[in-house]
Amino acid sequence: MLVLPSELMQREATACLHMLVQGLRSQPDAVVVADAAALTSFDSSALAVLLECRRQAHASGKTFGVKHLHPRLRELAALYGVGELLPATP
**Domains of the chain by residue range:** 2-85
User: What is the rounded distance in angstroms from the CA atom of residue 13 to the CA atom of residue 90?
Assistant: 25
Percent over 70 (pLDDT), the chain: 100
Q: At what angle do helices 45-59 and 71-79 cross, to 10 degrees?
A: 80
Residue-wise pLDDT for 21-42, tens only, equals: 999 999 999 999 999 999 999 9
Residue-wise pLDDT for 50-69, tens only, equals: 999 999 999 999 999 999 99
What is the dotted CATH code of the domain comprising 2-85? 3.30.750.24
Say if residue 90's pLDDT is above 80. no
